[in-house]
């Protein structure tokens, strides 16, 4: 007889880990330091392997499980949740591709590998399928040269998931993706992460300088990177949005608990008895509920055998809507908390700075609104090419 592997309850695991992460969050935020101990706990507990398919030794966690667990984790330390999100959703995207690259990536994660993703580049904006990093074909592989920004989780990564483009016979770029063990040469940190929010994510800026990558580390077929993004957006945007819903949920709970205990001497009762406080708490709760509902609808939306572009737009609209609502929740929370909310002693200050990052995750809101408006009106999303003769 063989023992049956017991599936981990990742939501319960997140509840167990989040309070410990919350205790460390203030210091990591103050120091802008990377939470290596949090990542180590996520690896040792099996959290980082949750999206590995069962055939490769994982639990094949559903998107719903991932998103709920990430919300809880973000309530403890948003930077940790955001950093590990690069890993768990990136792994899910790779696993969907299947094939040899998916298998070795998944097995490496089961053995403790941690993935950091780098697709953002200066001057590219959110157009990740048009990388300016160049991949020159050389004997046995490629040499990459370019710059990467917002390489979230870099300090704690064992593997880098990144993009570059080769040039075809016509001189046109062919985007590619690579998942490579973190190299000792060819990657240089040109800017350590020091920002107003998400300060512990280690989102460094990197220079790739003749970075040699063997053929075996390529992911998918050449030129298929745009489709990888479109087909993987279900996991990506839902899990990213979850981090910011988690911040909003934690902020609501924190503000409610504070106002129940805080007493104004002129009334001799907790602030919870003040109508103004009650109105804002009700509005916060309504916005949290709306954000969770939009996210839930997106999680359970059909994403197989659907138009990839339309699905990408729908998921982007959800991401923009949810992050906007989360930001509004924190703004209301600061109004309720008053001046004490500006103090570093109050975790609401950190939550307020962290939640702003959600508004900045590409694609930009105005671009998403343009796409969605054109889609609703039946106007072509992209202009027809014009030939000059």
Angle, CA of 342, 346 and 352, to the nearest 5°: 60
Determine the Cα–Cα distance for residues 265 and 262; give it in Å rounded to an integer.
Answer: 10
Q: What is the pLDDT of residue 383?
A: 63
**SS3 state at 205:** strand
What CATH number is given to the structural domain containing 205? 2.40.110.10
CATH number at residue 334: 1.20.140.10
Look at the block and give the residue holding tokens 């572009």: 309
**Per-residue pLDDT at 157:** 97
Q: Same structural domain for residues 59 and 181?
A: no
Q: Are 42 and 24 spatial neighbours (Cβ–Cβ below 8 Å)?
A: no
Domains held by the chain: number: 3
Instruction: Tell whether 248 and 298 lie within a shared domain.
Output: yes
Domain boundary among 71, 98, 117: 117
Entry pTM: 0.94
- Residue 21, domain extent: 10-117
User: What is residue 7's predicted lDDT score, i.e. its pLDDT?
Assistant: 86
| Mean pLDDT (10-residue bins), the chain, 389 residues | 72 98 97 97 97 92 96 98 94 83 92 92 74 93 95 96 88 87 96 96 97 92 73 90 98 98 90 96 98 97 86 95 98 96 95 97 90 94 53
Residue 4: inside a domain: no
Tell whether 267 and 163 lie within a shared domain.
no
Q: Do 256 and 348 belong to one domain?
A: yes
Q: Quick one: pLDDT at residue 125?
A: 66
pLDDT score for 342: 93
Is 34 inside any structural domain?
yes
CATH of residue 113: 1.10.540.10
160 and 126 in a single domain? The answer is: yes
Q: Which of 204, 236, 225 is nearest to 130 (CA)?
A: 225
Same domain, 110 and 35: yes
């Amino acid at each position: 007889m063989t023992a049956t592997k017991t599936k981990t309850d990742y939501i319960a695991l997140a509840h167990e880990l989040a309070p410990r992460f919350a205790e460390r969050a203030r210091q990591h935020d103050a120091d802008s330091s990377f939470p290596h101990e949090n990542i180590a706990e996520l690896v040792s507990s099996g959290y980082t392997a949750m999206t590995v398919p069962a055939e490769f030794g994982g639990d094949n966690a559903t998107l719903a499980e991932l998103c709920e667990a990430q919300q809880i984790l973000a309530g403890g330390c948003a930077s940790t949740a955001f950093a590990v999100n690069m890993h768990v959703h990136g792994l899910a995207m790779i696993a969907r591709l299947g094939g040899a690259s998916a298998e070795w990536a998944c097995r490496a994660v089961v053995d403790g590998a941690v993935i950091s993703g780098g697709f953002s580049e200066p001057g590219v904006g959110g157009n990740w399928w048009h990388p300016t990093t160049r991949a020159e074909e050389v004997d046995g592989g490629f040499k990459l040269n370019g710059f990467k920004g917002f390489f979230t989780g870099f300090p704690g990564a064992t593997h880098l998931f990144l993009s570059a483009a080769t040039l075809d016979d016509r001189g046109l770029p062919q985007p590619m993706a690579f998942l490579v063990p973190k190299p000792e040469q060819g990657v240089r940190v040109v800017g350590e992460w020091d920002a107003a929010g998400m300060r512990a994510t280690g989102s460094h800026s990197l220079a790739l300088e003749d970075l040699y990558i063997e053929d075996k580390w390529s992911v998918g077929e050449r030129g298929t990177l745009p489709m990888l993004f479109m087909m993987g957006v279900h996991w990506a945007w839902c899990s990213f949005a979850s981090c910011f819903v988690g911040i909003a949920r934690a902020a609501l709970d924190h503000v409610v608990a504070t106002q129940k205990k805080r007493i104004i001497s002129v009334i001799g009762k907790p602030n919870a008895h003040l109508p103004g406080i009650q109105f804002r708490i009700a509005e916060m709760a309504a916005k949290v509920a709306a954000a969770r509902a939009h996210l839930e609808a997106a999680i359970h939306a059909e994403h197989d055998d659907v138009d990839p572009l339309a699905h990408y737009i729908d998921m982007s609209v959800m991401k923009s809507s949810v992050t906007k609502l989360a930001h509004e929740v924190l703004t209301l929370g600061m109004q309720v908390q008053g001046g004490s909310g500006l103090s570093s002693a109050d975790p609401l200050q950190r939550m307020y700075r962290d939640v702003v990052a959600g508004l900045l995750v590409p694609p930009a809101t105005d671009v998403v609104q343009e796409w969605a408006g054109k889609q609703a009106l039946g106007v072509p999303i992209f202009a027809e090419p014009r030939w000059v003769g």
